[in-house]
């Protein structure tokens, strides 16, 4: 029981840190550009994983595995760059950490939907979840009696598609690579591309970076280094389905953080939309067959 409590606490701590990262992104956007913010925080996040790797991923050198890890890191890091850039730009355009969190969270619904379109079997709860998520999306994006998808909403939704693609590429190669080294390398790729583009497209000022230092440190060290370590430790003794549901509360904590720290306020219809999206996210993580098996096993006992 102690192990389960410990893993549950670590999983929720991960979700809380990730959720409040949207607040850090919102605040950081007031001082530095999208690429500057992401470049610095992802490079920091990459370097912060070095001690984690030394502790949790000591393994004999395998040339084939290392080359595969490098190749997948380059591909995933590029997709991560696109997803993170769209997310940060979407946060800037919407000006809302809570809304950005829920719209980004749609990637958890999109993953099984995309897998279905690729010809893979998908649980019926995925489509029920997608129905709830779409309904919530409409309510969240309504202004008065009209459905208005602002530029920021569209950017965040497109970003969610790339977050889903990022998950799928990891899912495909996860058993062929070193997971922690992969994470460090993909964050480095994302951060490096972001910084190169920032140098040519944004005005990088030291005073502005200093002003955004707390959000950048939180986004880099806490959201990547600390949260990723908590995720690893928490998932060791947790059911995968339970873990994914806990992680989905990230969007809820983004709204809580936005309300408490940034004093963000949505309409009643907007909050209802968030609730429907969250229900959709949770349902998309469930597997009806597994639930039936667990019920049958308990009845037999």
- The residues with which 143 forms a beta bridge, in sequence order, are 146
Comparing 66 with 294, the larger pLDDT belongs to 66
Q: If pLDDT is split at 50, 70 and 90, which confidence band does 2 have?
A: very low
What's the pTM value of the predicted model, to 2 decimals?
Answer: 0.86
- Tens-digit pLDDT profile for residues 215-272: 999 999 998 888 888 887 787 777 666 777 788 788 888 988 998 998 888 788 888 8
Q: How far apart are CA 64 and CA 72, in angstroms?
A: 12
What are the structure tokens assigned to 145, written together?
């009696």
Domain boundary assignment for the chain: 2-113+151-265
**What's the mean pLDDT in 292-301?**
56
Select from 244, 193, 246, 200 the least CA-distant residue to 76.
193
- Tens-digit pLDDT profile for residues 115-165: 888 887 777 888 888 888 888 888 877 766 666 678 899 999 999 999 989
């Amino acid at each position: 029981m102690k192990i389960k409590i410990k893993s549950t606490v670590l999983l929720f701590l991960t979700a809380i840190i990730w959720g409040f990262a949207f607040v850090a992104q919102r605040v950081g956007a007031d001082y530095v550009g999208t690429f500057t913010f992401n470049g610095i925080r992802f490079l920091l996040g990459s370097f912060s994983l070095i001690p984690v790797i030394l502790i949790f991923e000591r393994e004999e050198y395998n040339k084939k595995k290392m080359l595969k890890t490098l190749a997948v890191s380059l591909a995933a890091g590029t997709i991560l760059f696109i997803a993170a850039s769209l997310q940060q730009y979407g946060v800037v355009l919407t000006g809302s950490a809570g809304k950005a969190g829920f719209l980004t969270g749609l990637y958890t619904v999109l993953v099984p939907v995309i897998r279905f379109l690729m010809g893979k079997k998908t649980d019926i709860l995925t489509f029920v979840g997608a129905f709830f998520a779409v309904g919530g999306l409409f309510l969240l994006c309504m202004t008065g009696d009209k459905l208005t998808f602002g530029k920021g909403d569209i950017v965040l939704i497109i970003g969610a598609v790339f977050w889903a693609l990022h998950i799928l590429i990891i899912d495909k190669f996860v058993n062929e690579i070193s997971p922690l080294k992969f994470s460090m390398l993909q964050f480095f790729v994302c951060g490096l591309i972001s910084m190169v583009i920032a140098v040519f497209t944004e005005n990088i000022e030291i005073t502005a970076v200093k002003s955004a230092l707390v959000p950048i440190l939180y986004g880099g060290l806490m959201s990547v280094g600390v949260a990723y370590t908590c995720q690893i430790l928490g998932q060791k003794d947790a059911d995968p389905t339970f873990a994914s549901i806990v992680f989905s509360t990230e969007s809820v904590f983004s709204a809580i953080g936005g309300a408490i720290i940034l004093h963000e306020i949505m309409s009643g219809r907007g909050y209802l939309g968030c609730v429907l999206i969250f229900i959709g996210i949770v349902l998309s993580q469930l597997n009806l067959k597994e639930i039936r098996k667990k019920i049958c096993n308990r009845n037999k006992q």
